[in-house]
Structure 1
Amino acid sequence: MSLENFVHLSKPSSFSWEVEGERIMFETGRIAKQANGAVVLRYREAFLLATATAATQPSEGIDFVPLSVEYREKFASAGRIPGGFLRREGRITDEEVLTSRLVDRSIRPLFPKDYRYETQVLVHVFSTSEECDTEPLAILAASVALYISDIPWGGPVGGVRVCRIGGEFRLFSSLQERERADLDLVISCSPEGLIMLEGGGKEVEEREVLEAMEFAQRGLVSFFERVSEWGKEVGRPKRALLEDGDRAAVEARAEEIGRRWEASFAEAFGFSVKKARRQALERLREEVLEAYRDLEGEGFDAGFCAKAFELAKSGFMRAQILRDRRRIDGRGMGEIRPIEVEVGILPGAHGSSLFTRGETQALVTCTLGMESESQVVETIFGEGQRYFLLHYNFPPYCVGEVRPMRGPGRREIGHGNLARRALLPVIPSRDAFPYTIRVVSDITESNGSSSMATVCGASMALMDAGVPISKPVAGIAMGLVCEGEEVAILSDILGDEDHLGDMDFKVAGTRDGITAVQMDNKLGSVERSVLERALQQAREGRLSILETMSKTLGAHRQELSEHAPQVASLQICPETVRQLIGPKGKTIQQIQQDTETSIEVSENGRVRIYGRSRARLQEARELVEYHTAQVEVGKYYEGEVSSIRDFGAFVRIYAHVEGLIHISEIDHKRVQAVEDYLRVGEKVVVKVLGVDRKGRLSLSRKEGLHIQKECVENWKGRM
């Protein structure tokens, strides 16, 4: 780039996009001028900086686009100082990982297939508020930064969130507004069509998802017009690629390999078992490379030939699907692999299932805990609680590989979040089911669609644990193979069909509608007609899977596991919370120790008691009531005589409730000595008459002499 061109591009320039009465401002040339592309996005109180930087030389020995995307939120953006000893931002959070993936999946399909230059896209949030939805803003900012850079890329891409609130679609809803939505989707589009889809709904119909996609596409038309005009003004000329191999030569060699070894490819792909098929293809690969090594001698290029073989392999599989309408394992386009479902296979777990679909298998557990065992989620806006957790694990053995066992990667975090979203609409409220619920899916075997196997297995484990979910949920992954006008939509895709195909479209839901969707593609865009067919085919598959699942367990068990904690809930007067806790927590700790329970108390007076048996729960409940209950004038209670005076007797009804029986209220006859009628420690039924001038309860024994036990308010005479 010439110095003159660089100076020109460094001058600040901006444009704005008007959407639904709001203005989104894009600016470049003032901040981060040394990046290949940099954009500041402003929306309400939001200030995002997106940068795109690429290496000047291609990376050797790789066969993928070396793109990394990272989205980070600065605590200062919301006026907060981070927690922890260091008081600075730590490792990337799960929420930041999920947004990074949204950006990555939106921009990756538009890089050239042979692009091998290490590229980094960073999106940092420097200012925001709860009114600003930064996920779609991050997609927009990253897209514009790439679009005006000199990095070869086929954008622009627009990202929006579409929410349906009160029956109407809206763009860019606030966090509070999203809570009222029955459909919530993040959608990325190019001018040609849909690129990426992520979100969920409360059992919505397929046509409603399509309508949301169309609404997003229409809403982005003006953005594409504005950014295209601005790109002509400030965009840098795209750099010429140093070709990583001659694409035309690779394609010619691949065509030659496909013709010469067509029968061998057919034989290798004839193995329906993944391991046998891979071994056959690996032997064929060695045979092909050896043949060209003998033919070309010292001029043999192993890397070139390996690329050609992979292209030939992909071409054969795709042609077999499009031409012969036959898939790798012999299934039809809409056919689902055989399914086996088992529940209750882990005796010590609160709920468990083993879901097997073909060569994909998920071992899923469900554990119930106290509310205090919920996950604390720290965001730039403060801390929140998460009471339904779903964790997805993908150990190396499930695909027959060896690799280090580290923490969950981005893919595992993304798959776990998708499965959690699919199940959230059917999870009971905390009032109806006051537990923290943790579901863990361990993929024990994988050949495609493991995230959707997790949804199915998790649904079964929840029901096995006795969690009263409203309906079972199932998921299915759809694929696409497209060459020109020829299109094949595949149900329940295999790993190779995902890898060599053009789309991965995951759909989860109940019998009545969709609860979660996720779509990625390698074409750059997907037409509406294709998506409509895929959604309809996915619905048919989902209903079939649900029918199979129902044969094992059609609804949640009526009783919790004997290993699960029992729970009792009650509401006490907020003013008595301090009485229950006692000095330095002594009272509540003593109750927990005596009854072998755990008790959680909130400031608003809600009490949850967790124990291993109903009898222990009842003991704890009675003690809680004893320490917090209050009396009402005119009602009858049983109490214990605590002391005797010449003028009457003091009676303790509850731990903190004591009153006086005046000597005139002891009996209908005249009483000469209190001791003739009452003794310390004696239990007595009294009526609450009111409060005397000294603020003490005034009680009557004579009014309670002939009262039936059923009329006594407190519990079964226990003191």
Structure 2
Amino acid sequence: IPWNGPIGGVFMGLVDGKPVVNPTAEQRKVSTLELTVAATEKKVVMIEAGAKEVSDEDMYNAIMIAHDEIKKLVKFIDGIVAEVGKPKFSYPSGELDHDMFDEIFAYCEAAVMEALDTDDKNVRDAKMQPIMDDIVAKFEEKYPDIKVVLPELIYKIQKKIVRRWLLNDKKRVDGRKMDEIRPLAAEVALLPRTHGSGLFTRGQTQVLTIATLGPLSDSQMLEGLDDETSKRYKHHYNMPGYSTGEAKSLRSPGRREIGHGALAERSLVPVLPSVEEFPYAMRLVSEVVSSNGSTSQASVCGSTLALMDAGVPIKAPVAGISCGLITAEEGSWDTMIDIQGVEDFYGDMDFKVAGTHKGITSIQMDLKIDGLTPEIIKNALETTHKGRDEIIDKILLAAIPAPRADVSEYAPKMITMHINPEKIREVIGSGGKVIQKIVADTGAKIDINDDGSVFIAAVDRASADRAKEIIDAIVFEPVVGETYEGTVTRIIPIGAFVEYAPGKEGMVHISKLQKVRTEKVEDAVQIGDRVRVKFLGTDEKGRQNLSMKDAD
């Protein structure tokens, strides 16, 4: 097969600040980096990473170490090829006729340049249509297949002009400098009835992200080969047809939507609070309102706004931005920050990086050339870091300086408590009867972990408090010698039964009712009386003994 391989791949971790090649399962659990690199002997062709605010320097070093390891793999594969490899077969070229291309390019170059020179893609597309119609009318007789090759022809004409501008003139189609970000804007709390919302705008790319909070039982269950896990943070990405001016029907998420949602999710997970700090499940949905490049990174920025608006105490704001690349045949190159659609289409790279001021949380790279040199990778990391800092300081923190102190009034109210793990069965009850009754009586949702952690969620605080009171009563363990206030529930000839805590009942023997001799129990108490009792302990039969005369 005629390709430019071989290539090799390596997974990198960062354990205790040190790069680890192909870390073990145990090392991955404590690693602050999950980096996958693919490369040829000379250049890096693929980078995919998730990280816990790893610095640019550590990320660069990990990529270089990975490439050094890949060189060994490629050398090994070359040895196999030398023994059993076969010659690459040839195939007919499908390229456009060069004479036709040169003639049509000379004819329409000025008109296409004028059409491309705008920051509005809709204006650009509108100006191109008459030019294409004119080309067909002018050259159809000479080139009968002109309509068939027109899309590729226009693509190559535009590509040649855009790349020439970028390489020679350092000019971008919308007039920006190579290191200049498109106009930015941010807004929070657009949707008053949601738990949190954020709108992020970068040029003609605009993304609205909505945050919804729920009890931990709303976490997504993940079934693996070995065990079952769950994730409490879910990120979904939608890009409807109207965002690109198309009237196509809505369909189920495709690979692109799933991938962009996963990238935004990976970017934000490192800054989320722990379950103990914030016992909520979180679902974020990024709706692309308008698209002109870098919608996945705009989703990251919009999600930061929505989380902070929802009162999620994230560790630091996260911003995402892309870096493009333009290369010449003789080897010269230049990078550009915040590429838009046409630059992504005609450029050589889309290097997407998300992170905080402190470091990187995710990387995803799309490449159209044979690979990147170390110099390009280092430049891309530095360029995107400057872009992230600018977005965070000037836009995100200007819109909302810190996460809100409390969650929305419409979000579930959460209470976290801890019980003795041995009492879990009492709270759940036979067949779940007890916990089901608590849920039915209070309207709360209750999640219990094996370690005794209990998470209570309800639509209002009163319902959550009521559920907590019931659970407290079930797991209540009286202390010998402590005094409690209770109600007389039953009277028998030898004593009285007192409910001294919800669901907890003990007996006061007739001899323990008063400090003076008592002939009849009714002489001391009546059913319904509120009395103070001291807990004396539990006998060998499990009966709880109380005293009234020792309670004072």
Task: Using structure 1 for the length normalisation, give the TM-score.
Answer: 0.74
1:525 equivalent among 363, 371, 376: 371
Residue 480 of structure 1, CA deviation: 0.5
What is the match of residue 533 of structure 2? Answer: 686
What is the match of residue 229 of structure 2? Answer: 384
What is the match of residue 8 of structure 1? Answer: none
User: Contact between 1:258 and 1:316, CA under 8 Å: does it hold in 2?
Assistant: no
Q: Does 1:602 align with 2:449?
A: yes
Deviations 1:97-130 (A, max 9, x none): xxxxxxxxxxxxxxxxxxxxxxxxxxxxxxxxxx
Alignment CA distance shift 1:335-1:283 (3 Å): same
User: Contact between 1:652 and 1:659, CA under 8 Å: does it hold in 2?
Assistant: yes
Amino acid at match of 1:442: E
What is the match of residue 263 of structure 2? Answer: 418
Classify the secondary structure of the residue corresponding to 1:179.
helix
Aligned mates of 2:493, 2:225 — CA distance in 1: 66
What is the match of residue 388 of structure 2? Answer: 542
User: Contact between 1:257 and 1:309, CA under 8 Å: does it hold in 2?
Assistant: no
Aligned residue pairs, count: 550
Deviations 1:340-368 (A, max 9, x none): 11111112211111111110011110001
Aligned mates of 1:290, 1:307 — CA distance in 2: 17
Aligned mates of 1:446, 1:381 — CA distance in 2: 41
Q: Does 1:451 align with 2:296?
A: yes
Q: Does 1:202 align with 2:52?
A: yes
Q: Does 1:481 align with 2:326?
A: yes
Identity of aligned residues (%): 38
Aligned mates of 1:689, 1:557 — CA distance in 2: 49
Aligned mates of 2:446, 2:321 — CA distance in 1: 41
What is the match of residue 116 of structure 2? Answer: 269
2:246 equivalent among 396, 401, 420: 401
2:92 equivalent among 236, 242, 246: 242
Equivalent positions of 1:127-526 (< 5 A) are 151-245=1-95, 249-250=97-98, 252-294=99-141, 296=142, 298=144, 300-304=145-149, 306-483=151-328, 484-526=330-372
Amino acid at match of 1:661: V
Residue 583 of structure 1, CA deviation: 4.2
User: Contact between 1:591 and 1:623, CA under 8 Å: does it hold in 2?
Assistant: yes
Alignment CA distance shift 1:565-1:306 (3 Å): closer
Alignment CA distance shift 1:408-1:693 (3 Å): closer
User: Contact between 2:470 and 2:502, CA under 8 Å: does it hold in 1?
Assistant: no
User: Contact between 1:255 and 1:312, CA under 8 Å: does it hold in 2?
Assistant: no
Aligned mates of 1:602, 1:181 — CA distance in 2: 26
Deviations 1:629-673 (A, max 9, x none): 111222222232232233322223345533222233222333332
Aligned mates of 2:502, 2:18 — CA distance in 1: 56
Structure 2 residues without counterparts, runs of 5 or longer: none
Alignment CA distance shift 1:461-1:403 (3 Å): same
Alignment CA distance shift 1:695-1:331 (3 Å): same
Residue 456 of structure 1, CA deviation: 0.2
Aligned mates of 2:442, 2:449 — CA distance in 1: 20
User: Contact between 2:322 and 2:350, CA under 8 Å: does it hold in 1?
Assistant: yes
User: Contact between 2:40 and 2:71, CA under 8 Å: does it hold in 1?
Assistant: no
Alignment CA distance shift 1:297-1:628 (3 Å): closer
Aligned mates of 2:518, 2:124 — CA distance in 1: 100
Q: Does 1:562 align with 2:409?
A: yes
Amino acid at match of 2:50: G
Amino acid at match of 1:537: T
User: Contact between 1:609 and 1:621, CA under 8 Å: does it hold in 2?
Assistant: yes
Aligned mates of 2:253, 2:433 — CA distance in 1: 41
User: Contact between 1:394 and 1:442, CA under 8 Å: does it hold in 2?
Assistant: yes
Amino acid at match of 2:48: E
Classify the secondary structure of the residue corresponding to 2:30.
coil
Structure 1 residues without counterparts, runs of 5 or longer: 1-150, 706-719
Amino acid at match of 2:23: S
User: Contact between 1:396 and 1:403, CA under 8 Å: does it hold in 2?
Assistant: yes
Aligned mates of 1:253, 1:193 — CA distance in 2: 35
Which shifted more, 614-623 or 352-361?
Answer: 614-623
Residue 270 of structure 1, CA deviation: 1.5
What is the match of residue 6 of structure 1? Answer: none
Aligned mates of 1:328, 1:301 — CA distance in 2: 27
Classify the secondary structure of the residue corresponding to 1:223.
helix
Alignment CA distance shift 1:586-1:380 (3 Å): closer
Aligned mates of 1:297, 1:198 — CA distance in 2: 45
Alignment CA distance shift 1:664-1:367 (3 Å): same
Aligned mates of 1:323, 1:311 — CA distance in 2: 18
What is the match of residue 45 of structure 1? Answer: none
Residue 571 of structure 1, CA deviation: 1.5
Task: Using structure 2 for the length normalisation, give the TM-score.
Answer: 0.95
Classify the secondary structure of the residue corresponding to 2:250.
coil
User: Contact between 1:472 and 1:554, CA under 8 Å: does it hold in 2?
Assistant: no
Deviations 1:507-550 (A, max 9, x none): 11111111111112111111111111111111111111111111
Residue 577 of structure 1, CA deviation: 2.5
